[in-house]
Amino acid sequence: MKDNMRVRKKIVDGITVAILTVLAFVFMTPIAVVIMNSFKNKQSLIRGRGKAFDLLNKDSWYGFKNYTEGMKTVKIMDAMKNSFMITIVAVIILILLTSMTAWYIVRVKNKLTNALYFLFVFSMVVPFQMVMYTMSNIATNLGLNSVMGIVVLYVGFGAGMCVFMFTGFVKAIPYDVEEAAMIDGCNPLQIFFRVVMPMLKPTMITVAILETMWIWNDFLLPYLTLPSGEIETIPLAIQACQKSHGSIELGQLMAVLVIAIIPIVVFYLLCQKHIIKGVAAGAVKG
Protein backbone atom coordinates (compact mmCIF):
# COMPACT_ATOMS: atom_id res chain seq x y z
CA MET A 1 0.00 0.00 0.00
CA LYS A 2 2.77 2.43 0.97
CA ASP A 3 4.72 1.51 -2.17
CA ASN A 4 1.69 2.31 -4.32
CA MET A 5 1.25 5.67 -2.59
CA ARG A 6 4.92 6.51 -3.15
CA VAL A 7 4.65 5.61 -6.82
CA ARG A 8 1.53 7.76 -7.19
CA LYS A 9 3.23 10.63 -5.41
CA LYS A 10 6.23 10.40 -7.72
CA ILE A 11 3.96 10.37 -10.77
CA VAL A 12 1.98 13.38 -9.52
CA ASP A 13 5.19 15.25 -8.67
CA GLY A 14 6.61 14.46 -12.10
CA ILE A 15 3.48 15.69 -13.87
CA THR A 16 3.45 18.83 -11.73
CA VAL A 17 7.09 19.59 -12.54
CA ALA A 18 6.44 19.02 -16.24
CA ILE A 19 3.42 21.35 -16.26
CA LEU A 20 5.26 24.06 -14.32
CA THR A 21 8.25 23.75 -16.64
CA VAL A 22 6.02 24.27 -19.68
CA LEU A 23 4.33 27.25 -18.04
CA ALA A 24 7.68 28.76 -17.10
CA PHE A 25 8.83 28.39 -20.71
CA VAL A 26 5.63 30.03 -21.99
CA PHE A 27 5.91 32.98 -19.60
CA MET A 28 9.66 33.48 -20.10
CA THR A 29 9.58 33.32 -23.90
CA PRO A 30 8.31 36.91 -24.43
CA ILE A 31 10.97 38.28 -22.07
CA ALA A 32 13.68 36.28 -23.85
CA VAL A 33 12.47 37.55 -27.24
CA VAL A 34 12.56 41.18 -26.03
CA ILE A 35 16.11 40.77 -24.65
CA MET A 36 17.29 39.02 -27.82
CA ASN A 37 15.78 41.64 -30.14
CA SER A 38 17.35 44.45 -28.13
CA PHE A 39 20.70 43.35 -29.60
CA LYS A 40 19.52 43.13 -33.24
CA ASN A 41 19.98 45.74 -35.92
CA LYS A 42 17.08 47.51 -37.59
CA GLN A 43 17.29 45.50 -40.81
CA SER A 44 16.86 42.21 -38.98
CA LEU A 45 13.78 43.45 -37.14
CA ILE A 46 11.90 44.78 -40.17
CA ARG A 47 12.83 42.05 -42.63
CA GLY A 48 9.48 40.30 -42.27
CA ARG A 49 7.07 38.59 -39.98
CA GLY A 50 8.55 35.93 -37.75
CA LYS A 51 12.05 37.41 -37.91
CA ALA A 52 11.70 38.65 -34.34
CA PHE A 53 11.97 35.02 -33.21
CA ASP A 54 15.15 34.30 -35.16
CA LEU A 55 18.19 33.68 -33.02
CA LEU A 56 21.03 36.19 -32.93
CA ASN A 57 23.77 35.76 -35.51
CA LYS A 58 26.66 37.80 -36.92
CA ASP A 59 24.39 39.47 -39.49
CA SER A 60 21.77 40.61 -36.97
CA TRP A 61 24.11 41.46 -34.06
CA TYR A 62 24.08 45.18 -33.26
CA GLY A 63 25.77 45.13 -29.86
CA PHE A 64 24.76 47.64 -27.22
CA LYS A 65 24.12 50.45 -29.70
CA ASN A 66 20.35 50.09 -29.24
CA TYR A 67 20.83 50.70 -25.53
CA THR A 68 22.99 53.80 -25.93
CA GLU A 69 20.83 55.26 -28.70
CA GLY A 70 17.61 54.38 -26.88
CA MET A 71 18.77 56.04 -23.66
CA LYS A 72 19.52 59.23 -25.58
CA THR A 73 16.20 59.12 -27.44
CA VAL A 74 13.92 58.67 -24.43
CA LYS A 75 16.02 60.49 -21.79
CA ILE A 76 15.78 57.38 -19.68
CA MET A 77 17.57 58.75 -16.62
CA ASP A 78 15.12 61.63 -16.12
CA ALA A 79 12.16 59.31 -16.61
CA MET A 80 13.60 56.73 -14.25
CA LYS A 81 14.20 59.39 -11.59
CA ASN A 82 10.54 60.46 -11.83
CA SER A 83 9.32 56.86 -11.74
CA PHE A 84 11.46 56.06 -8.71
CA MET A 85 10.25 59.16 -6.86
CA ILE A 86 6.57 58.56 -7.61
CA THR A 87 6.70 54.83 -6.87
CA ILE A 88 8.68 55.00 -3.62
CA VAL A 89 6.73 57.88 -2.09
CA ALA A 90 3.32 56.52 -3.14
CA VAL A 91 4.04 52.99 -1.85
CA ILE A 92 5.36 54.23 1.51
CA ILE A 93 2.32 56.46 2.04
CA LEU A 94 -0.06 53.70 0.95
CA ILE A 95 1.43 51.14 3.33
CA LEU A 96 1.48 53.49 6.30
CA LEU A 97 -1.97 55.05 5.92
CA THR A 98 -3.91 51.99 4.77
CA SER A 99 -2.45 49.72 7.46
CA MET A 100 -3.49 52.22 10.13
CA THR A 101 -6.93 52.56 8.51
CA ALA A 102 -7.41 48.80 8.40
CA TRP A 103 -6.39 48.47 12.06
CA TYR A 104 -8.87 51.17 13.07
CA ILE A 105 -11.67 49.58 11.03
CA VAL A 106 -11.14 46.18 12.65
CA ARG A 107 -10.71 47.36 16.25
CA VAL A 108 -13.37 50.11 16.27
CA LYS A 109 -16.53 48.33 15.17
CA ASN A 110 -19.43 50.67 14.48
CA LYS A 111 -21.61 51.78 11.58
CA LEU A 112 -19.07 54.36 10.43
CA THR A 113 -16.18 51.90 10.17
CA ASN A 114 -18.42 49.34 8.46
CA ALA A 115 -19.50 51.91 5.90
CA LEU A 116 -15.89 53.01 5.46
CA TYR A 117 -14.77 49.44 4.85
CA PHE A 118 -17.44 48.82 2.21
CA LEU A 119 -16.52 52.10 0.48
CA PHE A 120 -12.92 50.92 0.21
CA VAL A 121 -14.05 47.55 -1.15
CA PHE A 122 -16.45 49.25 -3.58
CA SER A 123 -13.60 51.39 -4.93
CA MET A 124 -11.86 48.18 -6.05
CA VAL A 125 -14.67 47.25 -8.45
CA VAL A 126 -15.11 50.68 -10.08
CA PRO A 127 -13.28 50.64 -13.47
CA PHE A 128 -10.71 53.38 -13.87
CA GLN A 129 -12.16 54.23 -17.29
CA MET A 130 -15.38 55.41 -15.63
CA VAL A 131 -13.65 58.18 -13.71
CA MET A 132 -10.52 58.97 -15.71
CA TYR A 133 -11.80 62.05 -17.56
CA THR A 134 -13.43 63.55 -14.48
CA MET A 135 -10.34 62.72 -12.46
CA SER A 136 -8.07 64.33 -15.05
CA ASN A 137 -10.09 67.56 -14.97
CA ILE A 138 -10.15 67.69 -11.16
CA ALA A 139 -6.42 66.92 -10.97
CA THR A 140 -5.68 69.84 -13.29
CA ASN A 141 -7.90 72.22 -11.31
CA LEU A 142 -6.30 71.16 -8.01
CA GLY A 143 -2.75 71.37 -9.36
CA LEU A 144 -2.10 67.65 -9.03
CA ASN A 145 -0.41 67.41 -12.43
CA SER A 146 3.06 67.13 -10.89
CA VAL A 147 5.31 64.42 -9.47
CA MET A 148 3.98 64.86 -5.93
CA GLY A 149 0.44 65.51 -7.16
CA ILE A 150 0.18 62.19 -8.98
CA VAL A 151 1.30 60.48 -5.77
CA VAL A 152 -1.96 61.65 -4.19
CA LEU A 153 -3.92 60.08 -7.06
CA TYR A 154 -2.06 56.78 -6.75
CA VAL A 155 -2.75 56.70 -3.02
CA GLY A 156 -6.44 57.26 -3.69
CA PHE A 157 -6.73 54.58 -6.37
CA GLY A 158 -4.60 52.02 -4.53
CA ALA A 159 -6.11 52.43 -1.06
CA GLY A 160 -9.04 50.07 -1.66
CA MET A 161 -7.04 46.90 -2.26
CA CYS A 162 -4.49 47.78 0.44
CA VAL A 163 -7.15 48.30 3.10
CA PHE A 164 -8.86 45.06 2.05
CA MET A 165 -5.66 43.04 2.41
CA PHE A 166 -4.58 44.64 5.68
CA THR A 167 -8.05 44.22 7.18
CA GLY A 168 -8.00 40.49 6.57
CA PHE A 169 -4.65 40.17 8.29
CA VAL A 170 -5.45 42.41 11.27
CA LYS A 171 -8.48 40.23 12.02
CA ALA A 172 -6.09 37.34 12.61
CA ILE A 173 -4.01 39.25 15.18
CA PRO A 174 -5.06 38.30 18.76
CA TYR A 175 -6.51 41.28 20.58
CA ASP A 176 -4.95 39.99 23.80
CA VAL A 177 -1.55 41.12 22.53
CA GLU A 178 -2.79 44.69 22.17
CA GLU A 179 -4.52 44.59 25.55
CA ALA A 180 -1.24 43.53 27.18
CA ALA A 181 0.51 46.49 25.55
CA MET A 182 -2.29 48.77 26.74
CA ILE A 183 -1.88 47.54 30.31
CA ASP A 184 1.85 48.29 30.06
CA GLY A 185 0.96 51.91 29.35
CA CYS A 186 1.14 52.11 25.57
CA ASN A 187 -1.10 54.62 23.81
CA PRO A 188 -2.85 53.73 20.50
CA LEU A 189 0.02 54.95 18.32
CA GLN A 190 2.57 53.01 20.36
CA ILE A 191 0.40 49.90 20.18
CA PHE A 192 0.23 50.15 16.40
CA PHE A 193 3.88 50.91 15.68
CA ARG A 194 5.40 48.64 18.36
CA VAL A 195 2.97 45.72 18.36
CA VAL A 196 0.76 45.63 15.28
CA MET A 197 3.10 46.91 12.57
CA PRO A 198 5.83 44.27 13.14
CA MET A 199 3.16 41.57 12.83
CA LEU A 200 1.94 43.14 9.56
CA LYS A 201 5.35 42.77 7.89
CA PRO A 202 4.41 39.86 5.53
CA THR A 203 1.34 41.67 4.24
CA MET A 204 3.23 44.97 4.00
CA ILE A 205 5.82 43.36 1.76
CA THR A 206 3.12 41.78 -0.40
CA VAL A 207 1.27 45.08 -0.73
CA ALA A 208 4.55 46.86 -1.52
CA ILE A 209 5.31 44.40 -4.33
CA LEU A 210 1.85 44.60 -5.89
CA GLU A 211 1.61 48.40 -5.67
CA THR A 212 5.18 48.90 -6.90
CA MET A 213 4.58 46.76 -9.98
CA TRP A 214 1.34 48.63 -10.71
CA ILE A 215 2.68 52.17 -10.25
CA TRP A 216 6.00 51.54 -12.00
CA ASN A 217 4.33 50.06 -15.11
CA ASP A 218 1.26 52.30 -15.20
CA PHE A 219 0.83 54.32 -18.38
CA LEU A 220 -2.71 55.72 -18.42
CA LEU A 221 -2.75 57.77 -15.20
CA PRO A 222 0.53 59.64 -15.90
CA TYR A 223 -0.55 60.10 -19.52
CA LEU A 224 -3.80 61.77 -18.47
CA THR A 225 -2.34 63.79 -15.60
CA LEU A 226 1.25 64.84 -16.18
CA PRO A 227 2.03 67.69 -18.61
CA SER A 228 3.11 66.24 -21.94
CA GLY A 229 6.83 66.55 -22.66
CA GLU A 230 7.64 68.14 -19.30
CA ILE A 231 7.35 65.34 -16.73
CA GLU A 232 7.65 61.76 -17.95
CA THR A 233 7.66 58.37 -16.27
CA ILE A 234 9.22 55.28 -17.83
CA PRO A 235 6.08 54.18 -19.76
CA LEU A 236 5.58 57.70 -21.13
CA ALA A 237 9.22 58.08 -22.13
CA ILE A 238 9.16 54.81 -24.08
CA GLN A 239 6.76 56.47 -26.52
CA ALA A 240 9.70 58.50 -27.81
CA CYS A 241 10.82 55.41 -29.72
CA GLN A 242 7.82 55.97 -31.98
CA LYS A 243 8.78 58.40 -34.71
CA SER A 244 6.64 60.42 -37.07
CA HIS A 245 4.25 58.66 -39.46
CA GLY A 246 3.98 55.73 -37.04
CA SER A 247 7.50 54.37 -37.61
CA ILE A 248 9.05 52.68 -34.60
CA GLU A 249 12.67 52.08 -33.73
CA LEU A 250 12.09 48.49 -32.64
CA GLY A 251 15.65 47.84 -31.51
CA GLN A 252 15.72 50.93 -29.32
CA LEU A 253 12.23 50.13 -28.04
CA MET A 254 13.29 46.64 -26.98
CA ALA A 255 16.44 47.98 -25.32
CA VAL A 256 14.53 50.61 -23.34
CA LEU A 257 11.96 48.00 -22.29
CA VAL A 258 14.75 45.82 -20.91
CA ILE A 259 16.16 48.77 -18.96
CA ALA A 260 12.66 49.58 -17.64
CA ILE A 261 11.92 46.10 -16.35
CA ILE A 262 15.28 45.47 -14.65
CA PRO A 263 14.51 47.43 -11.43
CA ILE A 264 11.08 45.89 -10.97
CA VAL A 265 12.36 42.36 -11.68
CA VAL A 266 15.19 42.78 -9.17
CA PHE A 267 12.76 44.12 -6.57
CA TYR A 268 10.37 41.23 -7.21
CA LEU A 269 13.09 38.58 -6.95
CA LEU A 270 14.29 40.01 -3.64
CA CYS A 271 10.80 39.96 -2.14
CA GLN A 272 9.07 37.04 -3.87
CA LYS A 273 9.38 34.66 -0.91
CA HIS A 274 7.05 36.91 1.07
CA ILE A 275 4.26 37.03 -1.52
CA ILE A 276 2.50 33.73 -0.83
CA LYS A 277 3.00 34.12 2.91
CA GLY A 278 1.53 37.60 2.89
CA VAL A 279 -1.42 36.80 0.64
CA ALA A 280 -2.31 33.71 2.68
CA ALA A 281 -2.07 35.68 5.92
CA GLY A 282 -4.16 38.51 4.53
CA ALA A 283 -6.86 36.12 3.40
CA VAL A 284 -7.52 34.87 6.93
CA LYS A 285 -10.82 36.00 8.34
CA GLY A 286 -11.23 36.54 12.05
* Contact predicate 128/220, CB 8 Å: yes
Q: Which domain holds residue 29?
A: 2-63
pLDDT digits 0-9 by tens, 195-205: 899 888 888 88
pLDDT(97) > 90: yes
* Same domain, yes or no: 278 and 178: yes
Same domain flag for 98 and 219: yes
Residue finishing a domain among 63, 85, 115: 63
Mark whether 72 and 45 lie in a shared domain: no
DSSP letters, 223-239, are HHHSPTTTS--HHHHHG
What mean pLDDT do residues 218-243 have? Answer: 82
15 shares its domain with 154? no
pLDDT at 89 > cutoff 90: yes
pLDDT of residue 231: 82
Give every CB contact of residue 37 below 8 A, 6+ residues apart in sequence: 45, 52, 250, 251, 254
Instruction: Say whether both 192 and 255 belong to one domain.
Output: yes
Quickly state the pLDDT bin for 282 (edges 50, 70, 90).
Answer: very low
How many distinct structural domains can be found in the chain?
A: 2
Same-domain pairing of 168 and 256? yes
pLDDT in tens, 155-204: 999 999 999 989 988 888 888 888 888 888 889 889 999 889 988 888 88
Of 33, 63, 93, the domain-final residue = 63
My answer on whether 28 and 90 are in the same domain is no
95 in the same domain as 46: no
Amino acid at 36: M
CATH number at residue 193: 1.10.3720.10
Q: Are 11 and 81 found together in one domain?
A: no
Domain shared by 6 and 100, yes or no: no
Q: How big, in percent rounded to 5, are the helix, strand and coil portions of the chain?
A: 80, 0, 20
For the chain, the average pLDDT equals: 84
- Same domain for 56 and 158, yes or no, is no
Burial-class residue 267 by CB neighbours within 10 Å (0-12, 13-18, 19+): middle
**Are both 100 and 219 inside the same structural domain?**
yes
Q: Among 63, 96, 114, where does a domain finish?
A: 63
**Amino acid letter for position 249:** E
pTM of the shown model: 0.81
Question: 285 falls in which pLDDT band (50, 70, 90)?
Answer: very low
- Specify whether the CB–CB gap between 91 and 212 falls below 8 A: yes
